[in-house]
Chain A
Amino acid sequence: MKEHHVSIWFLIGLQLGIFGLLITGAGIYGYFFPPPPEQLTVLSDLHAGIWWGAIMFVLGAFYTVKFRPGSGKGE
């Protein structure tokens, strides 16, 4: 009998988590080492990268854990 593939939600969680981590990291780096003024984006003072990346990371981590292989969910 063929085994079942991993849940698609697990893969989504993994990707969101990795991207969230990278984006948050880039946001934190930009906070401490801001680019020159001519390269700043509009509303850069809101540091969207930090909180948007964090949202992605938390959501991704939740899905990765909840639908991890062997959990029996979504497979």
Chain B
Amino acid sequence: MTCIPLLADAAPSHLVSLGTVDYLIIIVYFAFVLGIGFYLKHFADTGEEFFMAGREMTAWIAGLAFISANLGALELLGWAGQTYQYGLMATHWYWIGAIPAMLFLGLVMMPFYYISKTHSVPGYLLLRYGPASRSLSALTFGFMTVLMSGINMYAMAKVMEVVLGWNINFSIILSAVTVGLYVGLGGLLSAIFNEVLQFMLIWFGAALIPILGLIETGGWQGMVERIKANVPAIHPDHPNLDYTHIWSVMGNAKDNAMGMHWTGAVFGLGAVISMGYWTTDFLVVQRVLTAKDLRAAKMAPIIGAAFKMFVPFIVILPGLLGLAVLPMHLVGENDPSMGQGGHSYNEVLPLMLARYCGPGLLGLGITALLAGFMSGMAGNVTAFSTVWTYDIYRPLKPDATDAHYVAMGRWCTGIGIVISIAAAYIVPMFPSIMTYVQSLFSFFIAPLFGTVILGMLWKRTTGYGGFWGLLAGILSSIGMFTWYKLDTTHTAIAYIALSPDASDMAENMYSALWAGLICVAVTVIVSLCTTPRPDRELVGLVRACTDIPPEGDYPLVHRPVFWAVIVGVVCIILNIIFW
């Protein structure tokens, strides 16, 4: 769930200037990623190696790649900006909006993805529901993935223009060529290696900001007092709102800047959107499918969850600190002051970076952003390449050799990059697409969760039920979005999001909830009216028909469920602390 800072209307100001050592760090980084691609080409000869990294990753590597595929630079910049705008409640996207879903993926869903030996999420739908559901899922996923990749590329170029003054074309070509080379050569293995590297870089590049920020403010309490003092001037529309708690401000939608009631966070975000994203978005699930065995596949999302839980330290906290210490007042992208040297919410992280980081550290921070951008792009491209080759192309040419599919995967990487570049140039001509693409993406993801989970847990679900449920969920989500956007009387929002004060983000949460419920309802009704498949055809696909290897022989500390409980309890404690 990437939050996209477009910075599209920002004046091309120049936030930071890099020195020699900063450029040296960036050059070393590019040499590293390209070197890894060339080195790993030799290890990506077969389809299993190119598309699935040989299915030999340890739980740690698969888990870090899983979390890293999501932790792109847009995520960092966007959520730091959201925090400046909405306060600490942005943390919901890291805790209730991620941890339960990741633990659920590890404990409940991974066994079926893994035992079925599917190459992709659409591939699972093929096995469970048949070709119609697979095709619907693969086509929508492929389309959205490439579109997202292009938009990410454009957004990155805009960020680099604003932060460093780099030419947009230069940034797009540099990132496209680099990602195309290292993914095209080394496949998913190369992408995963670079994602884990990027994960480390982001932590080391960003962690110094909250550390120094808390030193400057005299600790957490000092920061909270400064925020209370600054908010009336920074957010004059909400001068008395509490920006430093996450749940106590959600009893009423009017009590928080996001305009969201707690039911939207729990049921829309926690139960549908995050479940859909973390358990069925192939971009992240693909990383876990590379695990070397079932236990590693179950542990990987749990390890990812443990790290995800602490990402707010390097994303949310800098946003909060921005409210406390930045001398300038940041504004929305459409604010008139943006054309007169003003800074947008999405620039809070680069501004904090420039505030604390001198030569060397600044290069590290910028490198972390670049790494995050390219890693996100590589994630999109590898997922697109796999889904295209296995779920769209192979049904059309089922008898080709493994080498043929690998060659197709390499071509697809290049084609995916070229389409991404085209999207990067074309999409900005239609600003509404850029603004709403995140909503478009959740159109397909939220209903997909209902389809997949019913398929895994209820053996009565039929192929017809799966397909029509998925289609109904997608169409209803698009319908609600259209109603909301075309509604001039401002009544749609009150029905969809249960409050006339709801923000776009709250509307997104509730739309996802209703779309997920509609998908489930239609799937159940159609399934009950059609003939189910015999149990013997559902072995390895459905819980009631599959013998999942027990973990009783492992010591307690090696069992995924043990660590899932630990992570879950820590997450609950964190929520209580910042209630």
Per-position 1/0 for B42-54, Cβ under 8 A of A: 1100000000000
How many residues does chain A have at the interface if contact means C-beta atoms less than 8 Å apart? 30
Are A49 and B358 touching (Cβ within 8 A)? yes
Are A22 and B25 touching (Cβ within 8 A)? yes
| Chain A hits for B201, CB < 8 A | 15, 19
Identify B39's interface contact among A5, A22, A48, CB under 8 A.
Answer: A5
Are A25 and B21 touching (Cβ within 8 A)? yes
- Interchain CA distance A41-B28 in the complex, whole Å: 25
Are A22 and B204 touching (Cβ within 8 A)? no
Chain B contact surface mostly: helix
- A15-B197, A43-B212, A43-B216 are known contacts. Are A56 and B360 too (CB-CB below 8 A)? no
A46 beta carbon closer than 8 Å to chain B? yes
Measured CB to CB, the nearest residue on chain B to A42 is B355
| Chain A hits for B359, CB < 8 A | 26, 29-30, 49
- Interchain CA distance A41-B200 in the complex, whole Å: 24
- A12-B197, A41-B355 are known contacts. Are A27 and B61 too (CB-CB below 8 A)? no
B227 beta carbon closer than 8 Å to chain A? no
Are A19 and B364 touching (Cβ within 8 A)? yes
- A48-B361, A49-B359 are known contacts. Are A22 and B24 too (CB-CB below 8 A)? yes
| Chain B hits for A65, CB < 8 A | none
Are B215 and A46 touching (Cβ within 8 A)? yes
- Interchain CA distance A27-B43 in the complex, whole Å: 39
A61 beta carbon closer than 8 Å to chain B? no
Are A43 and B215 touching (Cβ within 8 A)? yes
| Chain A hits for B288, CB < 8 A | none
B579 beta carbon closer than 8 Å to chain A? no
Identify B200's interface contact among A12, A25, A48, CB under 8 A.
Answer: A12
| Chain B hits for A52, CB < 8 A | 204, 208, 361
| Chain A hits for B354, CB < 8 A | 41
Per-position 1/0 for B16-58, Cβ under 8 A of A: 0001010011001100100010011011000000000000001
Interface centre among A5, A8, A40, A48 (most CB of B within 10 A): A8
Residues 497 to 555 of chain B near chain A (Cβ within 8 Å): none
The 9 A-B pairs at the shortest CB distance, nearest first, are namely: A26-B360, A23-B360, A26-B21, A26-B359, A41-B358, A49-B360, A42-B355, A5-B43, A43-B212
